[in-house]
Amino acid sequence: MYMSDSGKAGKRMGNGIIKKHQKTDVTNRPLIISYSYSGNTHRIAQEICVATGGDWCEIYPWQPYPMAFPELLDQVRKEVQTEYRPRLLPGSSNPKPYQVIFAGSPNWCGTIAPPLASWLARNDLSGKIILPFYSHCGGVACDFRRDIARICPGADVREALGVVADSSTDWSEMLREWIASVYKEVLYSDAG
Ligand SMILES: Cc1cc2nc3c(=O)[nH]c(=O)nc-3n(C[C@H](O)[C@H](O)[C@H](O)COP(=O)(O)O)c2cc1C
């Protein structure tokens, strides 16, 4: 987990008393939350973190997914069909202080990976701006904006960034353009 200390740790005051941040403290930094099975989505998250100066938090399912692809695919298909929300390892970030949340996972079977769906469903994200991103292989298309809006009806979900996971694609420029349009729009409007 890559979290900056601020917003979590206590703050040393002039009189030497350690004052804990209240849960209601608000930060202008975005939160970047990501689930990744094989690392591609985390790479995008890392770039977003660098580009925005945000706080990055990786999420992990309590029960790791199978290593073998046929078993993995079989399990993911079932979880997606039944809208199963796997239990997550503790330690994921509290979204309360953040106004803007970048939320990413691989495209799994045309939708959000279940661990990210779990995190979105278990946190109250009403009133927050969510910027979705995902990694994919050019297979079954997905609509992260629609799917996240369904899980978080009170949130303002913006246009998603989809990145093809192959080493020949230079997606840094695409990422910069997305940040420059979608994130800057957020910065200079209501959340700024
Ligand atoms: C179970 C499973 C289902 C997948 N379904 C899709 C899909 O529907 N469409 C697609 O374009 N890619 C699909 N992929 C490919 C992944 O989205 C792609 O490899 C992605 O870059 C993996 O990201 P990660 O390294 O963050 O886990 C799937 C991969 C797996 C393992």
Instruction: Using the mean position of ligand 1's atoms as its centre, give its distance from the Cα of residue 145 in Å.
Output: 17
80-107 tens-digit pLDDT: 999 999 999 998 889 999 999 999 999 9
Give the predicted TM-score (pTM) of the model. Answer: 0.87
Does 138 contact ligand 1 (Cβ within 6 A)? yes
User: What CATH superfamily is the domain 29-177?
Assistant: Flavodoxin domain (3.40.50.360)
The Cα 162–Cα 175 span in angstroms is 9
Give me 184's structure tokens.
Answer: 């800057």
Q: What is the pLDDT of residue 38?
A: 96
Among all chains, which residue has been given the structure tokens 């970048």? 102
Q: Considering only CA atoms, which residue is closest to atom 16 of ligand 1?
A: 136
Q: Which of 109, 116, 147 is the pocket-test mutation for ligand 1 (most atoms within 8 Å of CB)? A: 109
- How many Cβ atoms sit within 10 Å of the Cβ of residue 78? 12
Judged by DSSP in three states, 189 sits in coil
Does 59 contact ligand 1 (Cβ within 6 A)? no
Q: What is the pLDDT of residue 122?
A: 96
The Cα 174–Cα 131 span in angstroms is 15
Nearest to 129 by CA among 184, 87, 64, 62: 184
8-64 tens-digit pLDDT: 333 333 333 333 433 457 889 999 999 999 999 999 999 999 999 999 999 999 999
Nearest to 46 by CA among 151, 135, 156: 135
